[in-house]
Amino acid sequence: MTSRIGFVGLGHMGSPIAENLIRSGHSLRIFNRTSEKVAPFVEMGAEQAATPADAASPGGIVFSMIANDRVMEIVTLEEHGILERLGKGGVHVSMSTLSPALARKLEKAHRERGAEYVAAPVFGRPEAAAARKLWICVAGAAGARARVRPLMEELGQGVFEVGDEPAEANVVKLANNFLIAAAMEAMAEAFTLGEKNGVPREKLAEIVGKTLFACPIYQGYGKAIAEERFEPAGFGLMLGLKDVKLALDTAEESQVPMPLAQLVHGRLLSAMARGRGKLDWAALALGAKEDAGLGEQ
Amino acid sequence: MTSRIGFVGLGHMGSPIAENLIRSGHSLRIFNRTSEKVAPFVEMGAEQAATPADAASPGGIVFSMIANDRVMEIVTLEEHGILERLGKGGVHVSMSTLSPALARKLEKAHRERGAEYVAAPVFGRPEAAAARKLWICVAGAAGARARVRPLMEELGQGVFEVGDEPAEANVVKLANNFLIAAAMEAMAEAFTLGEKNGVPREKLAEIVGKTLFACPIYQGYGKAIAEERFEPAGFGLMLGLKDVKLALDTAEESQVPMPLAQLVHGRLLSAMARGRGKLDWAALALGAKEDAGLGEQ
Amino acid sequence: MTSRIGFVGLGHMGSPIAENLIRSGHSLRIFNRTSEKVAPFVEMGAEQAATPADAASPGGIVFSMIANDRVMEIVTLEEHGILERLGKGGVHVSMSTLSPALARKLEKAHRERGAEYVAAPVFGRPEAAAARKLWICVAGAAGARARVRPLMEELGQGVFEVGDEPAEANVVKLANNFLIAAAMEAMAEAFTLGEKNGVPREKLAEIVGKTLFACPIYQGYGKAIAEERFEPAGFGLMLGLKDVKLALDTAEESQVPMPLAQLVHGRLLSAMARGRGKLDWAALALGAKEDAGLGEQ
Amino acid sequence: MTSRIGFVGLGHMGSPIAENLIRSGHSLRIFNRTSEKVAPFVEMGAEQAATPADAASPGGIVFSMIANDRVMEIVTLEEHGILERLGKGGVHVSMSTLSPALARKLEKAHRERGAEYVAAPVFGRPEAAAARKLWICVAGAAGARARVRPLMEELGQGVFEVGDEPAEANVVKLANNFLIAAAMEAMAEAFTLGEKNGVPREKLAEIVGKTLFACPIYQGYGKAIAEERFEPAGFGLMLGLKDVKLALDTAEESQVPMPLAQLVHGRLLSAMARGRGKLDWAALALGAKEDAGLGEQ
């Protein structure tokens, strides 16, 4: 079944997702702040929207994939924003990594206008998005979730229904990114311990990734951290810091001390201060190494 | 090819390993401090040794699986210890989790007598040992490693050759256990964040274990931490604390600051202080939860 | 020399300061959100202002002592706020503990209207304010500082000129409060170590306060932490958490990793989660004690 | 009242203490491993002892000021050690910074021979020792304490009676050194926050030392950390690390998690790894600064 879908946000993640929706036969009406980016999608058959509101259709479905909370508020709540036009019966599927606090605010704003807000943040990098290999966590009202579920399944390899409150999916996403950062710090310390005790970093990374931690995060980031290969950035350190900060902000609001999250936050902040904001966020691993007196990059 | 092998130490891990060696057709000569434990192995065909030295044969192969550094020194270096009899050409395969510092000392002591010390610590619990599913990290002189490699392959699902210095295998083992503890702390914080924000612990554990962290540690310990099921102990908290302490001692000697290792050490120490030494070491996860004001067990 | 002075904010700290200004002979025009609180000051000779703007006089001096950033923005920048009336040549002396970020914003807003914003946060509790024993850190344009300096000297036992940018005084204040929290955590750990090794907490507190740490913070908080006396709250834990959070926010903006600030933040957040928000912030010390398995209060 | 006193250990601290005892009229019999160091004291009237045992006299008083646990065991317990000759009724006054665990062992060894072991560790650097400005914490049996108290009073500006178990005085000493390290880390973070926000380090150090933290540690170390002047070393970083490690070992044995002690331990260990072992231990402050991306020394 194909349908007309609004789409807002053609960034690194939004672009492959939008393309997949088009290739699946859906008619997309797309808004992007930098309008030239829409051109190739128009060639694939999409329509160009003049504003976020213009991308939405009353009672329809609109997707958004937005960089951060502030921009999300603009494209959704402010003048010419999605909510201006979406209206009663519409469903807004937000795939962005946002704060649970904003999700709560957006859910309320949608509800007040008779629309539904569904949070559907994703796990995976742009390549995974292109290959329809994303993992998607969906939270929101049951009816709205059911309506958009088939679309989610077209976009990823697995869909997890988290709960009825959109913010819950954002919490899962932030928790997940925190877990990744924690695993990287753990490997950074372990590999440095190995290095100073005669075990080559690559050897340790190999053993770890083939035995009890035989999973993508330890294998992929383990290799990068062992080889200290942080360019090109698959996920930029500055974005990583933003996400860990969102996790800590959420922890603060809900009174959850998270010392390990603080530790990785400190590592990322230090990496920023040392001018590594453009590297992959795995470069947080340099902290453990340099603390041990091993050469700066 | 079968052979005569000495074996010292019938604890939780040593017992299934010894049994597997017997079932593979090897003739074992076994010493255990509590001698009654040897009886069932004698029924399977093994011989009982009166002392650790008596278990070894000159120029032969002897295995040991010992609880800690102190006992290892006794059974190897002191009177009636393995080294008294092993002698020139003998190979001592030490599967215990010991400090790299002791491994260095033992390597030297063996070398001085013409024997070889091979460290072969294992990943896996008793069930894995029984099922020949251990992962084994081997380090020591190349010739000695080659001689015992076939035996290692009978005991596990994978053998990793780490290097020529026995201590290196111990470093890998300690690094690995540290990584497990770090992953548990990360999950403990993440699940608590979820719990206080409407995401059930089990739901978060499920998503984590099925997506980017689809590996035994996150799946097994994730479930235990989500359900707060810490009995019976698969790996006791006191032993976990001992291993993390060994990692920190090694870090101290080699001047490697490991703040995440310190964090999990603190969690384990606090759990001991709160009377949880007999629980599974995954009970370190209670720390994050209680810090967030959620009910004590 | 006496003068006409506006005054906004009659909280725990503002009240004794306003009273001292009156007793020194100045004519105060006071605004407080809860207007009844102004009555006793009117009896002392002050005038009541209907709005923050009404407290200020064009080209005059106005003091403010406000609970937090949000309220400060309201009373200064919004409708009927101080800036509406202060105007060219006026000086706004802000004694509150605010974020450096807000100080920068307020400085700009004042400058655009020809007024001066002077930050003058204070060290000391209400009793110290009443006794004119405050320490005051002043930052802002040199001319404005010179104009208000005599007033500062009437209010405290020492005035420190920090610099030309108001935000700098706020940084000093936040750094100072962080140092206090750090000292409390240090004592909490030290006293717990003593307690579990036979040294009574009070004994250790006494020695510390009489030897190398013979200063008010270690003496006063040392006694409270040794005796575990956290009521009545001299400075509430919730306020302490707010200040440490401001320090961490400032650290984030300026890319300064502060692991010790994170540690005390975690302690304070945990205390909040455990329902201790109304206690004195020295109750953060319970964390170290409980981690060591010593009884909950 | 003067008396014959044995004295073992003429290091940086032992030398001025021995000199003061001589100047007060006591007859000293001195042993030092490097025997040439004894010569100037012989010129002042002391006698040279050939061994630690030879410095002691049966039933007499002997002082020791020794670098670390290992050497203390040698000079006290091993062949030709103090205990060989001290015997019944003798009192051994140990002024060294040692582990409480060793103090317990030494107390037992002395008691078994009818002698008394009094721990009397000191606060203060060599200059303070020379000026009789030490603070001394005394613990041990009441009678023995009473006997040596007059001698203590000659050596310092204040004597604190801690308790009946010698180890308790060592705990106080370790707790105190930990508090110093914690204060240094706190200042390091605070000054870095100031520096990146326009407040000169020296300005902040000055305000801190003149207001709520007007005590020697904040004033002295505050200045050193502000100016980054870490040579010559008043107290070497390697010794500082040793003492913090003793505190953490004691914490481990008594199950006291000390995250702040771990933090400063990590800073000191990192400083060692970066080749700063010969600097004053205040150089741990460089960690916070470098983490913030400010230039390496």
pLDDT tens-digit readout, B22-71: 999 999 999 999 999 999 999 999 999 999 999 999 999 999 999 999 99
Domain around C46: 4-163
**Burial label, C170 (beta-carbon count in 10 A; 0-12, 13-18, 19+):** buried
Q: What is the pLDDT of residue D4?
A: 85
Q: Is residue C297 in some structural domain?
A: no
Q: What is the mean pLDDT of residues C175-191?
A: 98
Helices (H), D78-165: 82-86, 100-112, 126-130, 142-155
C261 contacts C175 by C-beta, under 8 angstroms:
no
Q: What is the mean pLDDT of residues D275-297?
A: 92
Q: Is residue C260 in some structural domain?
A: yes
Answer with the one of B114, B138, B164 that is the final residue of a domain: B164
Nearest Cα residue in chain B from D258: B266
| pLDDT(C271) > 50 | yes
Best residue in A243, A244, A252, A253 to probe C by mutation, most C CBs within 10 Å? Answer: A252
**Burial label, A69 (beta-carbon count in 10 A; 0-12, 13-18, 19+):** buried
The upper half-sphere exposure of residue D97, i.e. CA atoms within 13 Å in the direction of its Cβ, equals 24
Closest by CA position to B204, among listed B174, B183, B225 = B225
CA distance D263 to B136: 34
Helix (H, G, I), strand (E, B) or coil at B76: helix
Q: What is the mean pLDDT of residues B200-210?
A: 97
Q: Is residue A44 in some structural domain?
A: yes
C139 contacts C165 by C-beta, under 8 angstroms:
yes
Could you tell me the CA-to-CA distances from B106 to B71, B109, B115, B165 in Å, in that order?
A: 13, 5, 10, 11
Do B182 and B138 fall within a single domain? no
Do C51 and C103 fall within a single domain? yes
Each residue of A126-135: pLDDT tens digit?
A: 999 999 999 9
Do D10 and D33 fall within a single domain? yes
Q: Is residue D96 in some structural domain?
A: yes
Q: Is residue C248 in some structural domain?
A: yes
Q: What is the pLDDT of residue D293?
A: 97
**Residues in chain B within 8 Å Cβ distance of D265:** 262
**Residues in chain C within 8 Å Cβ distance of B259:** 259
DSSP classification of residue B256: -
**Residues in chain A within 8 Å Cβ distance of D292:** 270, 273
Q: What is the mean pLDDT of residues A137-163?
A: 97
The upper half-sphere exposure of residue A29, i.e. CA atoms within 13 Å in the direction of its Cβ, equals 18
Q: Which residues pair with A63 in a beta bridge?
A: A7, A93
Q: What is the mean pLDDT of residues C264-269?
A: 98
From the CB of residue C143, how many other CB atoms can be counted at a distance below 10 Å? 9
Do B107 and B223 fall within a single domain? no
DSSP classification of residue D190: H
> How high is the mean pLDDT of chain A?
96
Do C87 and C195 fall within a single domain? no
Which value, to the nearest 10 degrees, does the dihedral of the CA atoms of residues D239, D244, D250, D254 take? 180
For residue A272, give the nearest of C255, C266, C273 by CB distance: C255
Q: What is the mean pLDDT of residues A55-77?
A: 96
Answer with the one of D131, D149, D164 that is the final residue of a domain: D164
Report the domain count for chain D. 2
**Burial label, B237 (beta-carbon count in 10 A; 0-12, 13-18, 19+):** buried
| pLDDT(C53) > 80 | yes
Closest by CA position to D54, among listed D113, D99, D8 = D8
Q: What is the mean pLDDT of residues C150-174?
A: 97
Confidence tier at B177 by pLDDT (50, 70, 90): very high
Do A147 and A184 fall within a single domain? no
C53 contacts C71 by C-beta, under 8 angstroms:
no
D255 touches chain B (CB under 8 A): yes
Do A140 and A285 fall within a single domain? no
Q: What is the pLDDT of residue C2?
A: 62
A265 touches chain C (CB under 8 A): yes
Q: Is residue C85 in some structural domain?
A: yes
| pLDDT(D195) > 60 | yes
**What number of H helices and E strands is found in chain A?**
14, 9
Contact call for A255 and C269, based on CB within 8 A: yes
Q: What is the mean pLDDT of residues D137-155?
A: 97
Nearest Cα residue in chain D from C158: D211
Each residue of B87-104: pLDDT tens digit?
A: 999 999 999 999 999 999
Each residue of A48-61: pLDDT tens digit?
A: 999 999 999 999 99
Confidence tier at D297 by pLDDT (50, 70, 90): very low
Q: What is the pLDDT of residue A4?
A: 85
**Residues in chain A within 8 Å Cβ distance of D272:** 293
Confidence tier at A297 by pLDDT (50, 70, 90): very low
Tokens at residue B49, please? 């040794």
Do D93 and D109 fall within a single domain? yes
Confidence tier at B217 by pLDDT (50, 70, 90): very high
**Residues in chain D within 8 Å Cβ distance of B262:** 259, 262-263, 265-266
Angle at B139 between CA B159 and CA B254, to 5 degrees: 125
Tokens at residue D31, please? 């042993």
Contact call for C266 and B291, based on CB within 8 A: yes
**How long a stretch of residues is chain A?**
297
Closest by CA position to A33, among listed A14, A50, A53, A56 = A50
Q: Is residue C296 in some structural domain?
A: no
CA distance B13 to C246: 52
Q: What is the pLDDT of residue B97?
A: 95
C57 touches chain D (CB under 8 A): no
Do C152 and C209 fall within a single domain? no
Answer with the one of A148, A164, A180 that is the final residue of a domain: A164
Q: Give the burial string for D110-131 (b: 16+ CB within 10 Å, else e).
A: beeeebbbbbbbbbbbbebbbe
Interface of D with C in 194-233 (CB under 8 A): 194, 196-199, 203-204, 206-208, 210-218
Confidence tier at B245 by pLDDT (50, 70, 90): very high
Confidence tier at B4 by pLDDT (50, 70, 90): confident
Q: What is the mean pLDDT of residues D221-237?
A: 96
Confidence tier at B178 by pLDDT (50, 70, 90): very high
Q: What is the pLDDT of residue C296?
A: 57
Confidence tier at B163 by pLDDT (50, 70, 90): very high
Helix (H, G, I), strand (E, B) or coil at B196: coil
> How high is the mean pLDDT of chain B?
96
Interface of C with D in 148-177 (CB under 8 A): 158, 160, 162-163, 165, 167-168, 171-172, 174-176
Interface of C with D in 92-111 (CB under 8 A): 100
CA of C270 vs chain B CAs: smallest distance (Å): 5
Helix (H, G, I), strand (E, B) or coil at B254: coil
Do A241 and A281 fall within a single domain? yes
Confidence tier at C297 by pLDDT (50, 70, 90): very low
Closest by CA position to A75, among listed A31, A129, A108 = A31
Q: What is the pLDDT of residue C292?
A: 98
**Residues in chain B within 8 Å Cβ distance of C283:** none
Do D194 and D278 fall within a single domain? yes
What CATH number is attached to the domain comprising A17?
3.40.50.720
Between chain A and chain C, how many beta carbons pairs sit less than 8 Å apart? 43
Confidence tier at D2 by pLDDT (50, 70, 90): low
Q: Which residues pair with C61 in a beta bridge?
A: C5, C91
What CATH number is attached to the domain comprising C248?
1.10.1040.10
Q: Is residue C97 in some structural domain?
A: yes
pLDDT above 90 as % of chain D: 96
Do C149 and C219 fall within a single domain? no
Q: What is the pLDDT of residue B297?
A: 43
Sheet strands (E) in A40-192 = 47-48, 61-64, 91-94, 116-119, 122-123, 134-139, 156-163
Q: What is the mean pLDDT of residues C207-224?
A: 97
